[in-house]
Every structure is written in C-alpha cells, then in structure tokens.
Structure 1
Amino acid sequence: MERLKELGQEYPLEIELKAYLLRPDVPPEGRPRQPRPGEEPGVLSEPLRTYANEMGLTNMKRSPLVSYSLKALEATEYAKGTGKVEAFHQGVYRAYWEKQQDIGRNEVLAEVAQEAGLEWDPLRQALEAQTYLRPVVEQFQQGMSLGFTGIPAFLVEGIPMVGLQTLETLRMVAKRVLARREGKGDPEAH
C-alpha cells in the first residue's frame, strides 16, 4: 500500500484497490494451513521469502491458519468510504502477515479498525448487515475475469496488477499509462 500511495503522489493516476478472495473455499472459522514440502512453520517459503525481503517486508510470516477473509474485505470496503482505507488495509496485512492473527474474527477487525481510527460499532453493524458483501463479490468476479490470481489486487488506470510490486515496476507502468494517455505510445519501446 505504501508503494501505491507513493506512486499516486508521483503520478496523476487512478489507483483502485480491489477485493479478491484468494481462497473462496475457506469456511468462516478458517482452516489449518497445510505447509508446503520443506517449509518451516511460520516461515515464508521461496520465492515469497526472497521477494518479501527485497521489498523490505522482513517481518512477514506464514500464519498457521488460513483465515476466512470475506469479512476483512467487506470491512476494507467500509473503510474506503471513511478516507482511512490505507491505514485499515495496512492494519489487516500486519495482523495476518506479521502478528499471525485470524482476520476473519471480529475481535481482530475491531482492533485493526481502532488502530486505523475507525469506530468499531458502525463497522460491526455494516458487517452484520452484509452491507458491503455485494461490492466485494462483484469485485472478486471482475478480478477473476481480469486474471487476478493473488493479493493485493488493484487497478492502475484500469490495468490489472496483482501481488507485491516494486516501486520501480509501478513507475514503469505509470510512465506507460501516461505516455499512452498523451498519445506518445510506449516509452520503453524506443
């Protein structure tokens, strides 16, 4: 998220975070994560470990539980309307990837919301009413049609992007988008 924020400050682009259910088959209570062959408990496997380290995300760990992420995605949609989506989204990532918390639990989402400056009661009510379920499902379906396969999932001026991206990669995309917008074609092709 920090890279997207920085990109948005450097270039006049529309960057849109999208909801994507990485594991739509996970039940509401979550399920134990099955380690990959040769993987140590709590440690990222390759190539994700190297990629995370290159991005400066040295505190990332594999959670022993695969969380039911639908509630967290609905809460993120709620946060979009408050102007606090960046802080909330970062908090959800920290809760899951650094603290190994179950982001499908209300207690965890309440803590993340509070840290992001959101009032829990209105968010809890929105989650209970499933106010943001429809947009999350629609974004997931759109993501499937765009070829999303991971998280974070986002659009840069309508161009689908998935996963942790280096600032260099994001800048390259931004330059191409702006060159096309100005009718100059692809700046990398010259």
Structure 2
Amino acid sequence: MDAILTARGLDPVQAQAGLERAAASCGVAFGKRTHTYNSRRATELGKWAETKGKKEAFDAQVFHAVFVEQKNIAREEVLSEIAHRAGLDPQEALRVLKEGIFHHAVLRDWDESARCGVVAAPTFQIGPHRLVGAHPYARLAAFVEKAGCQKRDSKEPV
C-alpha cells in the first residue's frame, strides 16, 4: 500500500491520516489499510447489483469490507459474502463472476476512464477542474464553486 501511495507522490502516513479524518468527519468506520486489492471483479458485481436495484447496498458493503474489515475483494468467497450482506443471492453472484457477464462492460468503463485520465475513485470533474479522492463536504462545495457553478436557492425546484 505504501509503495502505491509513494509512487503517486503521496506520503503514506499523511494519506492514511487524511482518510481517517475524512471518515471521522462523516461518522464512518475506517481501519488501517495495509493492502490494496484488485477491484475489477467487485466492479463487475457492482454492475450486476445495479441491475437488481441493489447498487448502493452493494457499494456500501464493498466499502465496509475494504476500509473497515481489510478484506481481499479479489476473492470470490469474499465477494459472495458481500453480495449476501447487500441482499443479493450469493450463488448468483458467483455465477455472474464465473460467466464473466459484466466483464466486458467493466473493461469498457475502465478504458474510458483511462482515456479521460481518471486514475482513482472517486474523481469529480467539472470542465477542466478535477478533484480526486474522498473529501469532506466543505471541500466538495469549494470545488464546485471554483469550477464556476452558482449556488442555487434551496427553495428553487430542481
């Protein structure tokens, strides 16, 4: 994990502290990450979960597995458990993975992200302005304002 952060020009200790502060400011549990695992298969299941109306629940369980429990989301048994906790059929999840039902869709998404220069999630982009990583609400609001978006009256219809 430290090598990945260092290669991106980040200080691992500062990065971990920043993540912990951001999580605490949102009341989100967050553990000490020591490893980064390949998320492609979890992304495939995320696309499947979306077709079942369970994308948000699945994503929340992936977040918990990675950032709280430090689980290896590249492993099928871990993904099956995550699917179950999100209210999805774990056996169907395994079938989706084995058959590669969403494999090409994910590769297309990743190719598009690479073409656009996106290297991390989340990445927010408005015109030429880009903000990478999880940030507190105040930082996101400042980013949106810096990008030239006008704050609207909360009484205006959306």
2:118 paired residue number: 148
How far the C-alpha of 1:44 sits from its partner, in A, is: 6.0
* Unaligned runs of at least 5 residues, structure 2: 152-158
- Which range moved further: 121-130 or 163-172? 163-172
1:176/1:187 contact within 8 Å kept: no
Normalized against structure 2, the TM-score is what? 0.71
1:63 to 2:26 alignment: no
Provide the secondary structure at the position in 2 that maps to 1:63.
coil
Q: Equivalent of 2:16, from 29, 39, 45?
A: 45
1:72 paired residue number: 42
1:138 to 2:101 alignment: no
1:87-138 Cα distance to aligned partner (Å, 9 max, x none): 0001001001000111111111111111111001222111111111111111
Q: Distance in 2 between matches of 1:171 and 1:118?
A: 37
1:112 paired residue number: 82
Q: Distance in 2 between matches of 1:44 and 1:171?
A: 20
- Which range moved further: 128-137 or 161-170? 161-170
1:113/1:119 contact within 8 Å kept: yes
**CA RMSD of the aligned region, Å?**
3.5
How far the C-alpha of 1:153 sits from its partner, in A, is: 4.6
1:143-164 Cα distance to aligned partner (Å, 9 max, x none): 12223231135789xx976422
Q: Equivalent of 1:187, from 147, 150, 153?
A: 150
Q: Which structure is higher in RCO with an 8 Å CA cutoff and minimum separation 6?
A: 1
Q: Distance in 2 between matches of 1:93 and 1:122?
A: 21
Q: Distance in 2 between matches of 1:65 and 1:138?
A: 26
Provide the secondary structure at the position in 2 that maps to 1:45.
helix
1:61/1:98 contact within 8 Å kept: yes
Going from structure 1 to structure 2, the CA distance change for 1:162 and 1:134 (only over 3 Å counts) comes to: farther
Identity in percent: 24
* Unaligned runs of at least 5 residues, structure 1: 1-32, 178-184
Q: Distance in 2 between matches of 1:166 and 1:136?
A: 28
Partner AA of 1:187 in structure 2: Q
1:14-64 Cα distance to aligned partner (Å, 9 max, x none): xxxxxxxxxxxxxxxxxxx44678867xx962433333333333x322333
1:44/1:61 contact within 8 Å kept: no
